[in-house]
Amino acid sequence: MKRTYLGEFEEVVLLTVAVLHESAYGVAITDELDRQTGRSVSISAVHAALHRLEEKGMLKSQMGEATAERGGRRKRLFTVTALGSRALHDIRSMRNQLWDSISPNALPAISI
């Protein structure tokens, strides 16, 4: 099956964009990532990932409103494209398929 490769970080960022729906921009994504995954990532890393995802056609963007705390600068708001959505779904179904194929005793038990 021919598919587009998504790096792990790219995947998380893409998912976060989907989570934030219509209000996804650099800082918000960084914060959301921090909140949801506990990963403290730099803004530049997020920007780089967003930039790359846009180049790959999985994200599209438009300039949003400006706010005072941004010194009058506008946000770039990202939305997931159909291609992005497709990629996420592909990954998910692939993972599900893999999970389903694991025999019950194959994974060592995790004590909680």
Contact code string over 15-54 relative to another protein, x by CB under 8 A:
----------xxx--x-----------xxxx-xx--xx--
The 3-state DSSP class for residue 65 equals strand
| Contact criterion met (CB below 8 Å) for 29 and 12 | no
Contacts of 30 (CB under 8 A, 6+ apart): 41, 42, 43, 46
* Nearest distance from C-beta of residue 50 to another protein, angstroms: 9
Please pick, from the candidates 4, 36, 67, 93, the single residue that binds another protein as defined by CB under 8 A: 67
Please pick, from the candidates 68, 106, 109, 112, the single residue that binds another protein as defined by CB under 8 A: 68
* Nearest distance from C-beta of residue 70 to another protein, angstroms: 4
**Residue 5: φ, ψ to 5°:** -80, 140
* Nearest distance from C-beta of residue 7 to another protein, angstroms: 14
Q: Which of 61, 39, 65, 64 is nearest to 50 (CA)?
A: 61
Please report, as ranges, the residues that interact with another protein according to CB under 8 A.
25-27, 30, 42-45, 47-48, 51-52, 63, 66-76
